[in-house]
């Protein structure tokens, strides 16, 4: 066992795909005929190169097509929204479900915290597919097909006459924020606060402080339990960040009463 590692236990992964449900146990995934030992360079959770026993995600998504939409839900309520197309790739950016072996547990992600197991969605050559860190959910519990975000949650939509900058900002919000946050009560995440109710961050961050906060939260609000990651320019460039903030500012004027 790795020093400092928390003992791992066997677990179940739940799949809910187009009305059909299936459960995969740890042992079954570890001996899956397409399981391989893979290397991941600069793993998002561990910030270093890692090796995993993993199964290609595409082989688990029976009946899923490129036009479908996938939600990957973690044990802590993190809910990553991912178009199915990149998850089905067999070249370029390729998605794998890493499986933690109870006999060889992974190390803690950081001191005092558990590992990324029992199941962790990782990517090889992620830059080839513009895969962001929010699309690397760890401690995965459920993978399911759902309608696209804007169909499920119309309260996220900007006004019909919103600028192209605001419309682009919605796309960035879906990719980078919705896994942790709701807005107007809309979203499935149970992880972070709502970003419009009761107040939108553009209403209390003056000047460029919101942009600075998104880049490095601990620079402005430092506390040991802070879990929001910073978004580097490699993940969210300055232009895209401006569009994201434009969307948030626009939505401050479109609050929805939440019961």
User: Would the pLDDT of 3 be above 50?
Assistant: no
Q: Whole-model pTM?
A: 0.85
- Sequence-ordered list of residues with C-beta below 8 angstroms from that of 206, at least 6 positions apart, any chain: none
Going by their DSSP bridges, the two strands 79-83 and 140-146 should be labelled as unpaired
Sequence-separated (6 or more) residues with CB below 8 Å from residue 160: none
Q: What would the two tokens of residue 186 be?
A: 């809309």
What percent of the chain is predicted at pLDDT more than 70?
A: 93
Residue 124: both structure tokens together: 């090889």
Mean pLDDT of all residues in 93-114: 93
| Structure confidence at residue 232 as a pLDDT band (50, 70, 90) | confident
Domain residue extents for the chain: 12-146, 149-251
Mean pLDDT of the chain, nearest integer: 91
What's the number of CA atoms in the CB half-sphere (13 Å) around residue 117?
26
Asked if residue 201 has pLDDT above 60, the reply is yes
What distance in Å separates the CA atoms of residue 68 and residue 120, rounded to the nearest whole number? 21
Q: pLDDT digit string (tens) for 134-179?
A: 999 999 999 999 999 999 999 999 999 999 999 999 999 999 999 8
Mapped onto helix, strand or coil, the DSSP state of residue 49 is coil
Q: For 149-251, which CATH class?
A: mainly beta
Which 3 state secondary structure label does DSSP give 182?
A: coil
CATH of 12-146, picked from 2.30.110.10, 3.40.50.11310, 3.90.420.10, 1.10.10.1590, is 3.90.420.10
Of residues 230 and 69, more confidently modeled: 69
Residue 146 CB-density burial (10 A; 0-12 exposed, 13-18 middle, 19+ buried): middle
* Orientation of helix 164-176 relative to helix 238-251, angle to 10°: 100
């Amino acid at each position: 066992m790795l020093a400092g590692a928390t003992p791992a236990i066997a677990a179940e992964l739940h799949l809910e795909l187009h009305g059909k449900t299936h459960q995969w146990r740890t042992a079954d995934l570890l001996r899956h005929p397409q399981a391989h030992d893979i290397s991941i360079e600069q793993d998002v959770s561990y910030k270093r190169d890692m090796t995993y026993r993993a199964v290609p995600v595409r082989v688990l998504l029976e009946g899923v097509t490129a036009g479908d939409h996938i939600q990957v839900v973690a044990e802590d309520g993190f809910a990553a929204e991912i178009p199915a197309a990149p998850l089905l790739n067999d070249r370029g950016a390729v998605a794998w479900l890493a499986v933690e072996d109870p006999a060889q547990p992974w190390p803690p992600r950081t001191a005092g915290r558990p590992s990324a197991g029992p199941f962790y969605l990782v990517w090889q050559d992620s830059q080839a597919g513009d895969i962001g860190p929010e699309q690397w959910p760890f401690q995965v519990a459920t993978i399911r097909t759902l309608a696209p975000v804007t169909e499920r949650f119309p309260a996220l939509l900007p006004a019909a006459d919103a600028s192209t900058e605001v419309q682009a900002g919605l796309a960035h919000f879906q990719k980078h924020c919705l896994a942790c946050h709701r807005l107007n009560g809309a979203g499935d995440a149970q992880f972070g606060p709502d970003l419009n109710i009761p107040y939108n961050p553009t209403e209390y961050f003056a000047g460029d402080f919101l942009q600075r906060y998104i880049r490095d939260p601990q620079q402005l609000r430092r506390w040991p339990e802070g879990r929001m990651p910073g978004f580097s320019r490699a993940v969210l460039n300055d232009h895209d960040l401006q569009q994201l903030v434009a969307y948030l500012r626009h939505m401050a004027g479109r609050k929805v009463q939440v019961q």
